[in-house]
């Protein structure tokens, strides 16, 4: 691994990343801009195990050069050696591959240390902020939380997307994307203080574009005083 993949592949090899080949077994257009694939895992799940929000790096070809993108596993089944991947479609080589993918197609993948550290103590309330790109991770997080109450801010065009929210347990607040993410930042900043003011052990999970993620993470930690170990923040993409 690393050969033919440039510096990214070489760095991953140094961190003992493992390579696998996935095979597409089915494809479904959930909406015009959101596509779900089912795949066999090439022995990955038996070797790595499964945890919430687990992700893999897929390798694509972009203008003749290797390009990797990370995707969260959907409903991984170690016994069957299968899982799903969901793609929020836009321009780019990853979306192009997903649009054309059909049963029998294969894709190379790398797994490298995607461990999930469950909050301790257990959260009294979880706040999740995301968008279509991070929806599979949000669903995986919801699956792992049981009956913990969750407030979810979901940015962008999310009509028809498979959010696993339960009425009465999960409070979903949908926000159209505006001003390069500034609209979401404004809404979360105005509502989050009251939401957390009486919580003993909150947990804040943020996965939006890089700038939005950075702004909201800083707000939660510096202005609201949420301890850094109780804030998970990862920029999933860069706004152009």
pLDDT 10s per residue in the chain (240 long)? 334 555 454 444 434 568 999 999 999 999 999 999 999 999 999 998 999 999 999 999 998 899 999 999 999 999 999 999 999 999 999 999 999 999 999 999 999 766 677 888 999 999 999 999 999 999 999 999 999 999 999 999 999 999 999 999 999 999 999 888 899 999 999 999 999 999 999 999 999 999 999 999 999 999 999 999 999 999 987 876
Assess whether 82 and 106 both reside in one domain.
yes
Segments forming the whole domain that contains residue 24: 6-111
Nearest to 128 by CA among 182, 75, 172, 66: 172
At CA 117, angle to CA 111 and CA 120, rounded to 5? 175
Assess whether 226 and 131 both reside in one domain.
yes
Assess whether 179 and 98 both reside in one domain.
no
Give yes or no for a contact between 59 and 110, defined as CB atoms under 8 angstroms apart: yes
pTM of the model: 0.89
DSSP structural state of residue 91: S
Who contacts 182 (Cβ-Cβ below 8 Å, separation ≥6)? none
CATH number, domain of 42, equals 2.40.30.10
Assess whether 20 and 84 both reside in one domain.
yes
Domains contained in the chain, number: 2
CATH number, domain of 139, equals 3.40.50.80
Q: Give the end of a domain, one of 89, 111, 133.
A: 111
Exposed/middle/buried for residue 41 (C-beta within 10 Å: 0-12, 13-18, 19+)? buried
Element (H, E) at 107: strand 106-111
């Amino acid at each position: 691994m690393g050969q033919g993949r440039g510096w990214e592949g070489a760095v991953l090899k140094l961190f003992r990343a493992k390579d696998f080949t996935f095979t597409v077994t089915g494809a479904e257009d959930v909406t015009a801009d959101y596509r779900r694939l089912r795949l066999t895992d090439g022995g990955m799940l038996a070797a790595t195990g499964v945890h919430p929000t687990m992700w893999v790096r897929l390798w694509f070809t972009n203008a003749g050069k290797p390009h990797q993108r990370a995707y969260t596993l959907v409903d991984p089944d170690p016994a069957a050696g299968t899982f799903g991947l969901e793609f929020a479609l836009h321009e780019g080589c990853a979306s192009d591959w997903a649009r054309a993918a059909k049963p029998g197609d294969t894709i190379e993948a790398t797994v490298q240390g995607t461990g999930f550290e469950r909050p301790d103590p257990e959260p009294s309330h979880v706040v999740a902020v995301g968008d279509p790109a991070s929806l599979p991770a949000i669903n995986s997080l919801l699956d792992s939380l049981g009956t913990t109450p969750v407030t979810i801010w979901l940015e962008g065009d999310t009509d028809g997307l498979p959010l696993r929210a339960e009425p009465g347990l999960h409070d979903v607040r949908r926000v159209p994307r505006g001003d390069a993410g500034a609209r979401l930042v404004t809404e979360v900043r105005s509502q989050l203080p009251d939401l957390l003011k009486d919580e003993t052990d909150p947990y804040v999970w943020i996965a939006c574009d890089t700038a939005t993620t950075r702004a909201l993470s800083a707000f939660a930690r510096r202005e609201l005083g949420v301890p850094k170990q109780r804030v998970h923040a990862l920029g999933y993409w860069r706004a152009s």
